[in-house]
Amino acid sequence: MSYCVECGKEGKTYDSLCAECFDKRHKLVRVPEAVDITLCAHCGAHQRGANWAHVDRPDAIRHALEGAVEVDTGAQLDVLDVKLREEDERNLAAELLIGLKVDDAEFRREKRTRIRIKQGVCDACSRQKGHYFEAVIQVRPPEGEVEEELVEKATEIVHQEVERMGPEVFISREESLHGGVDFYLGSRGAAKTITKRLQSRFSGEVTVSSTLQGRKGGRDVYRMTYLFRFPAYQAGSVLKIADEPFQVVSIGPPIVIADLATLQERTVPASTLKSARKADARTLMAIIVSRDEKEVQVMDPETMKTVTLLRPPGIAEDAEEMLVVRTAEGVYPSYLQSIN
C-alpha cells in the first residue's frame, strides 16, 4: 500500500504525495501578467505566429490564453473558463478558472491576467490597400453591342463569388471600360474559378493571356488576364438560321433552340449559332382570344387582327395574354413565355 511521504496518508499517491499534499506543493500552471493579441485594424483577423486567422474576437482571446497558459510536465489542461472585464478599448482584465488533471486526480487553479489588444494589418488587407493584384477579369459585351443588364448580372456574380471565397480573396480595383467591367483580383486561382462560373452561367468565350511580372523563389511570376465576352445571344434571342426563325431556349451547356414555325426544340453545337444572324424581331404581349389543346388565337398587337398560332408550352388555361414574336415575315408564338 502506498502512502504520502508528507502526511503519511495511505492510498494512491502522485509523485509520492497524496492528492491534497500534491495540490499544496505544486503550482501546476503559470500565467503571464499580460497576454498580447494582435488584431488586423481593417478586418479584425487574429495574428497567430506568421499567419492570420479570421475568427471572432472572443475566439481569438481564448486561443491566445490557451497558448499563454503554461502547464507543468505531467499535468493536462482540462478546463479553461474565462471571465473578461473591459478596462478600456485596448485592455481587458481576465479571470481564469483552470481545471487540470494529473493522472486521475483533478485540480483547480484561479489566475488573473490582462489582455492587451494591439493593432496590425494582415497580409490580405496589406495587399488590398496597396492595390495588389494577381489577375484581371475583363467582362465585355458582344462586339458592337451594349448589354448593361447582363454586365450588371455578371458583376453581381463576381462579388458573390469573392464573398463566398472568404477574406483572403479580394477585389483591389474595379473599373468600367468599353461597355464592360475590369475586376483586379488578389488571387489567380480565384480569378480562374470565377471566370469559369461566368462561362457556366452565360456561355460566351474566354480568352486567357499572361504577363511576366518578375521572379520569386527562382520561378517566373505571371499576372493573368481572363477576357470573358458574352455571346451575341441569350435565352429569348430570336435568330435566323437558314432563313428560318429560331428562339434561343437555353445557352447551356447544352445550347437549346426552338423552331418558332413548329415549336420543336433541338440541341445544337455553338458553331451553329456562330453562323446564325440575329433576326429583326420584337417580343410583344398579345391578348388571347381563344385556345384549344394545339392552337391559340391572339390579337396581333400591331394590326389588331386575329391570328391563329401554335400553342406554346407554359400557357395557363386562364391566361389572358401571351408573348408573341413579330418579324418581317409575320407573327409567331414565343416559345419562352417567361424571359428573365
State the distance between the two ends of the chain, measured CA to CA, in whole angstroms: 85
Query: What CATH class is the domain 238-269+277-333?
Result: mainly beta
Return the exposure string of 131-140: e unless at least 16 CB atoms fall within 10 Å of the residue's CB, then b.
ebbbbbbbbb
- Residue 316, pLDDT score: 83
Residue 335 has pLDDT above 80, yes or no: yes
For the entire predicted model, the pTM comes to 0.61
Domain boundaries, the chain: 19-121, 131-229, 238-269+277-333
**Region 146-161 average pLDDT:** 88
Distance of CA 303 to the CA centre of its chain: 50
pLDDT digits (tens, 9 = 90+) for 103-138: 989 999 999 999 999 999 988 888 888 888 999 999
Residue range 31-45, pLDDT digits in tens: 999 999 999 988 888
- How many whole angstroms separate alpha carbon 257 and alpha carbon 279? 14
> Is the pLDDT at 154 greater than 70, yes or no?
yes
Per-residue model confidence as pLDDT tens digits over 282-328: 899 999 999 988 999 999 988 889 999 999 988 888 889 999 999 88
Coil, helix or strand at residue 189: helix
14 vs 4: CA distance, rounded Å = 9
174 φ, ψ (degrees, to nearest 5) = -140, 125
φ and ψ at 204, to 5 degrees? 85, 180
pLDDT digits (tens, 9 = 90+) for 219-237: 777 899 999 998 878 888 8
- Cite the beta strand spans of 34-170 per DSSP E: 34-40, 46-48, 51-53, 70-71, 76-88, 91-102, 105-120, 135-140
**What's residue 67's pLDDT?**
87
**What kind and span of H or E run contains 59?**
helix 57-68
Q: Which residue stretches of 69-142 are H helix?
A: 123-129
Strand, coil or helix: 316: coil
